[in-house]
Amino acid sequence: MSYVTCNGVPMPNEAAKSTAERVAKRRATLRAQGLRPKTFWLPDTSTQDFKDRAHRDCARLWELVEHDAEAMAFAEAMTDEVLADLPPPDGDWD
């Protein structure tokens, strides 16, 4: 084990642990909290293909619900509910 000194006093070097050891320790801590690892694959929102598809999908959805009062009321209610859970623009909840 390597050591680092602080004001002349040797201290264990946490960086001496391998990445695998640090990851294993972190995962054990999370598992002890009742959590488990999960991998999510998400679309790359920075690509032009994603932007084009999102634009097409939104335009098509708007065409389908534009004149449907019930669908529009639902969309507005869901938007209001989501926005109510977001912090204000200044980031202050109070």
Phi then psi for residue 63, to 5 deg, are -60, -35
pTM exceeds 0.85 = no
Tens of pLDDT, residues 19-48: 999 999 999 999 999 999 999 999 898 899
**In this model, does residue 49 exceed pLDDT 80?**
yes
d(C-alpha 37, C-alpha 24), whole Å: 12
Whether 13 and 3 have beta carbons less than 8 Å apart is answered as yes
Comparing CA positions, the residue from 9, 29, 26 lying closest to residue 17 is 26
pLDDT bucket at 56, cuts 50 / 70 / 90 = very high
Structure-block tokens of residue 1: 């084990």
